[in-house]
Chains A and B, each alone.
Chain A
Amino acid sequence: MATDDTVLTDDSLTRRPDGLAIALKIPWYRSLWLSSVSGVTVAIDGKPATGLTAELNGRTYTIDELGEQSETLWFLQDRLVIRTPDDPGTDTVDVEVSVALRLPYMQIKPGLYVTNHATNRRVLEAR
């Protein structure tokens, strides 16, 4: 739904000294609070990646900490950068990312909200 097909883009993958950085576009039509990010998983060359952290506006969070960030907005045109130490070291990397967004204004019943699941898998060149 919406913009799910463009979570990963050609320039999403960057190699850093301590691992890979994967820049994600938000799979929705509006900015959302980071507390709406209810799950992020990454697979590198088909294997689940470990030690994930998320960066936005110069701050770093563990994936679990995202749930508490109800005052930090992920702007529609900004990227959330997911980092993992798991780096196969090859020029191109098969990256699969799943993002779950709990939509804070689409209530199914009190306390239960519609969740948008977006999964992208692409072979990306590390920059």
Chain B
Amino acid sequence: MIQGVTLYSFTRAFHQRRYTFEQLVREVAGRGLGPGLEIVGFQSIKGFPVLTDEFTGRFRDLVAETGLTPTSLAANADAGLRRDRMLTDDELVDYMRPQIAAAKALGFPVVRVQISLTPDDMERLLPVAEQHDVTLGLEIHSHQHPKHPAIQALLERYEKLGSPHLGFVPDWGASLRAVPSTLLRRYSELGYSEDLLDALNTTWLEHHREGPPRTEQQHGRWFGQVIQLAHRHGAGDRAIEMAVNLTGLFGHAPVTDWADVLPWTVHTHAKFYEIDADGDEPSVPVRDLVALWKAHGYRGTYSSEWEGFHWNAVDDPFAMVAAEQKLIREALTDGH
């Protein structure tokens, strides 16, 4: 078991060109936020998934220099790449091949893949993973969740195939316990009414009582409901964003639901949004999640993923990650 971080947490700094890729990796190592290092291929590497020998060499040297451990390379399944039609299954499988090869070339043992991939796609990609000796970890990300039919279908296929090259990457954003207060504060600062913020929060809590959506129709209904209430309260162009956040980012899965997929968990996105004065995460039940992971003998990486940057440009992302890593460490030693 190791702790680490995904560079996604530092999106804002990288996007603003405050760091080159190499500088950012050195910053992470220098601040002791490793040893685990996860990157998003399409974020960090220009020209991804094509790698130049020069880049591959530099990256391997950088890993040796910093002492970091590559954990997961996040790949994307861009099935909507073309405007005129969706990629066929063959095309989508071909789209993933060079990304999987890139993980191997850079020394990442896990490739994070996404839900656009069906059980059949995963089965067809298995020989590619075997060839490169990497494990494909399909991310379980809100609004999906462990009991979602698409995830259960994948689990069933994994159990049938029984390969160590297939697994899941749980993202803790599927198990929130509250809407992050920093987001509501941001909306308030932008001038949206308290009525709207109350309505958003109340609606999220109603969804929470219903439990995580079992069908796409249910999720679609929630999405439409948030858009409508946002429009009613004058949210205008921001209505879509509110619906994406409220129904797409902040999931409702009870912590115990993860037990189904923990035997197949090969990497973990320790997603979080904020840390309170007591060092806890008010919106993500980090302690409960770690306790369950620990009880199931999880041996992979806890990759801290701070997503507060979407609306929070004030807090220092490096300090935020350090604070969550401390919380996870404490949770890991609880009950010893």
Interface string of A71-111 (1 = CB under 8 A from B): 00101111000000000000000000000001111111111
State A14–B244 Cα separation when bound (angstroms): 35
A81 to B101, CA, bound (A): 32
Q: Which residues of A contact B76 (CB under 8 A)?
A: 30, 104-105
Of residues A30, A33, A110, which shows the largest number of chain B Cβ atoms within 10 Å of its Cβ?
A: A30
Query: A residues within 8 A CB of B319?
Result: none
A50 at the interface (CB under 8 A from B): no
Chain-A contact segment, one of B80-88, B120-128, B174-182, B280-288: B80-88
Bound CA span A65–B248, Å: 31
Contact of B86 among A33, A35, A110 (CB under 8 A): A110
Question: Which of A68, A105, A107 contacts B83 (CB under 8 A)?
Answer: A68
Least distance between B81 CB and chain A CB atoms (Å)? 5
Is the CB of B241 closer than 8 A to any CB of chain A? yes
Residue B11 at the chain A interface, CB threshold 8 Å: yes
Interface residues of B in 77-102 (CB under 8 A from A): 77-83, 85-86
B11 touches A3 (CB 8 A): yes
Number of A residues, CB within 8 Å of B: 38
Chain A contacts of B81 at CB under 8 A?
A: 33, 35, 70, 104
CA A111 – CA B85 in complex, angstroms? 7
For chain A residues 12-68, which have a beta carbon within 8 Å of chain B? Answer: 25-26, 29-33, 35, 38, 67-68
A29, B237: Cα distance in complex, Å: 20
CB neighbours of B241 from chain A (8 A): 1, 116
- Does A77 contact B220, Cβ atoms closer than 8 Å? no
A116 to chain B, nearest CB (A): 8
Assess whether B78 is in contact with A30, with CB atoms less than 8 Å apart.
no
A35 touches B82 (CB 8 A): yes
Specify which of A2, A25, A67, A104 lies most central, judged by the most chain B CB atoms within 10 Å of its CB: A104
Contacts of B15 in A (CB 8 A): 3, 6, 25-26, 29, 76-77
Measured between beta carbons, the chain A residues less than 8 angstroms from B11 are 2-3, 29
Chain A 106-120 per-residue mask, 1 if CB under 8 angstroms from chain B, else 0:
111111011111010
- B:242-263 near A, CB below 8 Å: 244-245, 248
CB neighbours of B30 from chain A (8 A):
none
CB <8 Å contact, A105 and B47: no
* Distance A3 CA – B114 CA, assembled complex (angstroms): 22
Partner of B114, one of A35, A68, A105: A105
User: Nearest Cβ distance between residue B261 and chain A, in whole angstroms?
Assistant: 21
Quick check: B237 and A119 within 8 Å, CB to CB?
A: yes
| A1-B116 CB under 8 A given contacts A104-B81, A105-B78 | no
Instruction: Select one of B8, B48, B77, B83 contacting A31, CB under 8 A.
Output: B48
Q: Complex Cα distance A114/B241, Å? A: 10
Residues on A with C-beta less than 8 A from B86 are 110-111
Which residues of chain B are within 8 angstroms of A104 by Cβ–Cβ distance? Answer: 76, 78-81
Residues on B with C-beta less than 8 A from A105 are 76-80, 114, 116
Closest A residue to B313 by CB, please name it.
A5
A6 and chain B: residue at smallest CB distance: B16
Contact, CB under 8 Å: A117 / B83:
no
Is B66 located at the chain interface by the 8 A CB criterion?
Answer: no
Q: Which residues of B line the A interface, CB within 8 A?
A: 8, 11-12, 14-17, 40, 42-43, 46-48, 76-83, 85-86, 114, 116, 216, 220, 223, 237, 240-241, 244-245, 248, 309-311, 313
Question: Which residue numbers of A lie inside 8 Å of B, CB to CB?
Answer: 1-3, 5-6, 25-26, 29-33, 35, 38, 67-68, 70, 73, 75-78, 102-111, 113-117, 119
- 23 sample A-B contacts, Cβ–Cβ < 8 Å, listed by A number: A1-B244, A1-B310, A1-B311, A2-B309, A25-B15, A29-B40, A30-B40, A30-B43, A33-B81, A35-B81, A35-B82, A35-B83, A70-B82, A104-B76, A104-B81, A105-B116, A108-B220, A109-B216, A109-B220, A111-B85, A111-B86, A113-B80, A114-B244
